[in-house]
Structure 1
Amino acid sequence: MAPQRNRRPGFSRRAQYVLFAGYVFAALGAVLGSVLVALSALNPPAFAAFRSAVAEVTTPVSSGLHAMRRFVIDIPDGMGDYFGVVGTNRALQAQVERDAKLVERARALVVENARLRRLMAVRDASGETVAVARLVNSTAGSSRRFATLNAGFRQGVRQGFPVRGPDGLIGMVLESGPNTARVLLAVDPESVIPVRRVRDGMPAIVYGRGDGMLDIRSAGISNLEYREGEMFATSGTGGVYPPDIPVARVTRSARDIAEARLIANPDALDFAIVQRPFLPAPPPVPTAPGP
């Protein structure tokens, strides 16, 4: 069968309009191209001005399309970077936590080392050390304040021996058993310690109050002024406590009687040093033989 000569695009008017519009645009493009070629040849300045105007109109559109294209292209990279940053952040946080634990452990070791150094310095400075023992416990729920030391007369600890720590005086041995001793703490109401003011050597007496605090009274001067922060140390009077052991620090300024705090806190100590009394006990008075 011979092909038809009439090759119309079917009976669809829409297809006909599209084909016609294509022909029209092609013709207009050809005419516009010819005009622009002629214009560029005959009048270059006018062609340059036209080209600049077209560039001014099309540049924003091109920039917007380029930005959209870059945004679409960068989406996978951005998602990868996000998840990579999240993972890195978690790893860094875990590292910070591990480093914080190491720092805390190092600080604890530094404090423990300093405490042991002070304890060794106290022991080396005194030639009258009897024993270094652990403070097992201390009473804090009543007005009487005692502590238990895990050393007794088998280790040389006797009644009346002073007990101190790295920072200062703790108290005195009240009772001594074979391997344990009961210590009367300096804050006990029955504790009386002769002291002197470090600033000027003024003698005073430190009394325990039973509530963890101390009272300081002058040994001879009435209405004496005490300043906050002043420190008192043992004077050696009485022959029990060696001189120059820190005892108390005044908590607030006062007259006649000052409130003070014990420098060495028994509740915070692990080990304590037991020393011999400053002056040996007098020998017993000989008795006359019977008739």
Structure 2
Amino acid sequence: MAPPANRRSSYSRRAQYSTFLSYSAGVLGAVVGLGLVVVSLVNPDVFSPLRGLASDATEPASQAVAGGREMGRNAIADVSGFFHSGNENARIRRELAEAKVRLVQADATRVENQRLKALMGIPETDATPVAFARLTASTGSSTRRYATLGAGHDRGVITGMPVRSPMGLVGRVLEVGASSSRVLLITDSESLVPVRRSTDGVPAFAQGASDGTLRIRLINLGINPLKKGDVLVTSGSGGLYRPGTPMAIVTELLRDGAIARVLSNPSDTDYVMVERAWAPPPPPPPAPTTDGIKPAGKR
């Protein structure tokens, strides 16, 4: 008599082995995954080389996608500008006239600052950029805010270097690969930057809120002096970030600070500049004293 077509797995050694291997693979995968999660929580830097290799491997494709995204934005801007060219031209002419006046004032202020620094013996720090590169990708919906930079060890980038765009500060280099880097954005919850109000220097700290905004925390508690529309720049306290770099605009006031919108949105930023980490200049030497020295001609 022919054997039944629907037999249990116990009658087939091959079926038994297949079932055993499938369960073993599932349990092993769960154990390995759990171990990787524990290691990433205890020591996140362990996987930095692997992330660097993955970023370097996908960097050419990211460059191509970023180029296509830029072309699309430029095409939309060209079509929109065609219908609004008249009003935009008049507005730009007015702004250009005002900018020329402000440029003359800024040049006079720069020359005066150089003269005062020379009198006080404060050396000028090197402001030459290390590299110019494109932000090929950035996290938009994650609780952590990172971006991928198309430059690595091949361009002289090292960990800790500030990254900025023409609009303002973007973040700092967190991990460096051969041809790409990982940037910690200023909107990340782990980012804390000393800032001050551009008009009168009110000190504060800007902490990322992980939603594209910054939480401004005042150092001196009491009456909140901030106002909507205030521009915040880096203060340079503690080094790393060069003082005076534009950063955010206050949009909402709180009891102990404010909520601010970043000036340089990573999703709208194409090319950025990598700077050297800034260090405060050493204090000037003390002035020579005349204690114990009698003026000439007197005895």
TM-score (norm 1): 0.53
- Alpha-carbon contact 2:216-2:257 (below 8 Å) kept: yes
**Aligned position for 1:32:** none
What secondary structure does 1:127 align onto? coil
- Alpha-carbon contact 2:161-2:173 (below 8 Å) kept: yes
**Aligned position for 1:87:** none
Question: How many Å apart are 1:201 and its aligned residue?
Answer: 0.4
Higher relative contact order (CA 8 A, sep 6+): 2
Structure 2 residue runs without a partner (length 5+): 1-77, 93-125, 281-299
Write out per-residue CA displacement over residues 188-228 of structure 1, whole angstroms, 9 at most, x where no aligned residue: 00000001111210111000010111100112334423210
**Structure 1's 254 and 102: CA in aligned 2 closer, same or farther, altered over 3 A?**
closer
Q: Take 2:209 and 2:81, find their aligned partners in 1: how far apart are those partners? A: 40
**Aligned position for 1:143:** 143
Q: Take 1:102 and 1:275, find their aligned partners in 2: how far apart are those partners? A: 34
Q: Take 2:83 and 2:235, find their aligned partners in 1: how far apart are those partners? A: 39
Question: How many Å apart are 1:154 and its aligned residue?
Answer: 1.6
Give matches, 1:1-291, under 5 Å: 104=82, 127-279=127-279
**Structure 1's 101 and 223: CA in aligned 2 closer, same or farther, altered over 3 A?**
closer
For the pair shown, the structure with the greater C-alpha radius of gyration is: 1
**Aligned position for 2:64:** none
Write out per-residue CA displacement over residues 233-260 of structure 1, whole angstroms, 9 at most, x where no aligned residue: 0011111000100111100233312011
Q: Take 1:268 and 1:213, find their aligned partners in 2: how far apart are those partners? A: 15
Q: Take 1:150 and 1:169, find their aligned partners in 2: how far apart are those partners? A: 17
**Structure 1's 101 and 256: CA in aligned 2 closer, same or farther, altered over 3 A?**
closer
Letter in 1 for 2:149: L
Write out per-residue CA displacement over residues 39-82 of structure 1, whole angstroms, 9 at most, x where no aligned residue: xxxxxxxxxxxxxxxxxxxxxxxxxxxxxxxxxxxxxxxxxxxx
What secondary structure does 1:174 align onto? strand
- Alpha-carbon contact 2:163-2:169 (below 8 Å) kept: yes
Q: Take 1:170 and 1:104, find their aligned partners in 2: how far apart are those partners? A: 31
Q: Take 2:174 and 2:205, find their aligned partners in 1: how far apart are those partners? A: 20
Structure 1 residue runs without a partner (length 5+): 1-99, 115-125, 281-291
Write out per-residue CA displacement over residues 94-123 of structure 1, whole angstroms, 9 at most, x where no aligned residue: xxxxxx95953996xx99xx9xxxxxxxxx
Report the number of matched residues. Answer: 167
**Structure 1's 250 and 259: CA in aligned 2 closer, same or farther, altered over 3 A?**
same
Q: Take 1:183 and 1:258, find their aligned partners in 2: how far apart are those partners? A: 25
Letter in 2 for 1:104: F
- Alpha-carbon contact 2:138-2:145 (below 8 Å) kept: yes
**Structure 1's 274 and 101: CA in aligned 2 closer, same or farther, altered over 3 A?**
closer
Q: Take 2:178 and 2:169, find their aligned partners in 1: how far apart are those partners? A: 24
Q: Take 2:147 and 2:240, find their aligned partners in 1: how far apart are those partners? A: 19
- Alpha-carbon contact 2:127-2:276 (below 8 Å) kept: no
**Structure 1's 155 and 104: CA in aligned 2 closer, same or farther, altered over 3 A?**
same
What secondary structure does 1:255 align onto? coil
Q: Take 1:129 and 1:106, find their aligned partners in 2: how far apart are those partners? A: 36
Letter in 2 for 1:163: V
Structure 1: 4+ residue segments shifted above 6 A: none
- Alpha-carbon contact 1:226-1:255 (below 8 Å) kept: no
What secondary structure does 1:267 align onto? helix
Letter in 1 for 2:198: V
Q: Take 1:103 and 1:256, find their aligned partners in 2: how far apart are those partners? A: 42
Question: How many Å apart are 1:153 and its aligned residue?
Answer: 1.5
Letter in 2 for 1:249: I
Identity %: 44
Q: Take 1:105 and 1:243, find their aligned partners in 2: how far apart are those partners? A: 40
